[in-house]
Structure 1
Amino acid sequence: MNEKPSLLSRASAEIVDLHRFFVDWFDRASADRVDFSRFERVMGDGFCMVAPSGQVLDRKAVLDHIKASRATCDGDFAISIEDIRAGWQAGDTIVISYVEAQQRAGKHSRRRSSAVFTTSSSAPNGVEWRHLHETWLQMPEG
């Protein structure tokens, strides 16, 4: 009998996969081959994000921002995900923290994020994003 992957492993895979989506979506060379609906499917109803600046964005604002940012990089953007850690978990909800390191046009930044996921049978990794809070560890170099 095949055992279903744990909620932690599904959420961890989602974090890594979504950031791969961002790299491909933002890169001019690959953006035409990326399906935006992948992003829409994993942003749960009522999703909200606290950006590193402290600005609170609802689901629509996040979707609109990402959609408008398509193909804005020219092979000069990379993201790595580090230090994924499980936080609180109950039933089909989990809180995960991780560090996102970005390199864009030679500038580096790092942010620590906490995300809330719930299970979703229609999402690629079986989880959807419900809340995201990002805090600067290293702001983009000037």
Structure 2
Amino acid sequence: MWFVFLAGSLFFLGGETMTTDTDKKAAAVREVEEFHQFFQDWFTGTLPRTAQAFARFSDNLAPDFELISPRGDLLARSALVNGLEQAHGKLPKTIKIWVRDVKVRSLGAGLWLATYEEWQDKGDGERGRLSTVVFREHAASPNGMLWLHVHETWLPDAK
């Protein structure tokens, strides 16, 4: 936001919070990282099982969101939301979920493509997947990015 002090008065000039591609790329990276932290906290029950806490996930998926799982299953938004809501606290507190190597590029017209590795360790070794997400800029979303589509592919077992 821009403010100007002129002749003893303060004037608000407005402005965008994300003005450059660099800002938007950084916002997309934060969104990927925070979303996966949500998953870890939801699965372990660290987050409370409230509509407000769950909204961090459910409100940030486009109405026509789809996910292609590593097994090739196509999941619509409603199935994913219902399944994840039921998974609250179902995994041990020792599970770790993290992302690596997030790369973001513009597709134009407010659309962004991110690729990253998602890793999980449930205590029995690390397992990874390569994920691709399409975002649309969306001012009401926590990082200004709305999830439109995700495609995941298993990575070879970690050694």
Q: Give the TM-score of the pair, scaled to structure 1.
A: 0.89
Instruction: Provide the C-alpha distance between the structure 2 equivalents of 1:103 and 1:44, rounded to a whole number of angstroms.
Output: 28
**Contact 1:87/1:97 (CA < 8 Å) preserved in 2?**
no
Q: Percent identity?
A: 27
- SS in structure 2 at match of 1:124: coil
Post-superposition offset of 1:88: 4.6
Gaps spanning 5+ residues in structure 2: where? 3-14
**Contact 1:48/1:130 (CA < 8 Å) preserved in 2?**
yes
> More deviation in 118-127 or 81-90?
81-90
Instruction: Provide the C-alpha distance between the structure 2 equivalents of 1:86 and 1:21, rounded to a whole number of angstroms.
Output: 20
**Contact 1:98/1:114 (CA < 8 Å) preserved in 2?**
yes
The count of residues paired between Structure 1 and Structure 2 equals 140
Instruction: Provide the C-alpha distance between the structure 2 equivalents of 1:139 and 1:47, rounded to a whole number of angstroms.
Output: 28
- SS in structure 2 at match of 1:134: strand
Q: Give the TM-score of the pair, scaled to structure 2.
A: 0.80
1:9-20 mapped onto 2 (5 Å cutoff): 9-20=26-37
Match of 2:88 among 52, 70, 76: 70
Instruction: Provide the C-alpha distance between the structure 1 equivalents of 2:29 and 2:48, rounded to a whole number of angstroms.
Output: 26
Structure 1 residues 77-125: Cα deviation after superposition (integer angstroms, max 9, x where no partner): 1111111112452021011100011101333200000000001121111
Instruction: Provide the C-alpha distance between the structure 1 equivalents of 2:80 and 2:124, rounded to a whole number of angstroms.
Output: 25
Gaps spanning 5+ residues in structure 1: where? none
- Residue identity in the other structure for 2:100: E
Match of 2:75 in 1: 57
**Contact 1:41/1:122 (CA < 8 Å) preserved in 2?**
no
Post-superposition offset of 1:3: 6.3
Post-superposition offset of 1:65: 1.3
